[in-house]
Amino acid sequence: MKIVLAAVGKAKKSPELALFEHFTKRLKWKISVKEVEEKKPLPKLKRMEREAELLLKTIPSDAIVVALDERGEGITSRDFAGKISNWRNHGKSKIAFLIGGADGHGKQIAERADFTMSFGKMVWPHMMVRAMLAEQLYRAMCIIDNHPYHRD
């Protein structure tokens, strides 16, 4: 699997970044991070549209697109692993995870997303989301490989 994490905002050295790197180093799947940022001060909806355009430009056209959004579907770790395994078994080798800006995703993301996923109804800081996604990707890989890291 090739994973693209496309996110609005630049990562800075932090405990969250260290945790993200900890789990991505354990992944046998290739992961690349694409960070985008709109520097012009734009009204909220225009900024969301612009951020969506920037995010969509970073992803391969043939990738499964997963938008991370608190209004998305909350699933179990085992179901997440099942989705990834199912996509792979249907010939998909690229998955792009999109993390929007402070105001969320523009409508173009909802239109392009194959799946919208939530880490719960609470809003999480973007760097925490990166770390949580990295851990869940590692966990999914372990579930798929029947590694004992995950316990039900």
Ordered by where they begin, the domains of the chain are 2-144 (3.40.1280.10)
Closest C-alpha among 33, 54, 29, 60 to residue 126: 33
Burial 126-145, CB ≥16 within 10 A → b, else e: bbbbbbbbbbbbbbbbbbee
Tell me what pLDDT residue 151 has.
80
SS3 63: coil
Below-70 pLDDT ranges, the chain = none
Tell me what pLDDT residue 98 has.
98
Tell me what pLDDT residue 111 has.
96
- Measured at the CA of 142, the angle between CA 22 and CA 96, to 5 degrees, comes to 70
Tell me what pLDDT residue 148 has.
86
Identify whether the C-beta of residue 78 lies closer than 8 Å to the C-beta of residue 143: yes
Tell me what pLDDT residue 112 has.
97
Tell me what pLDDT residue 54 has.
98
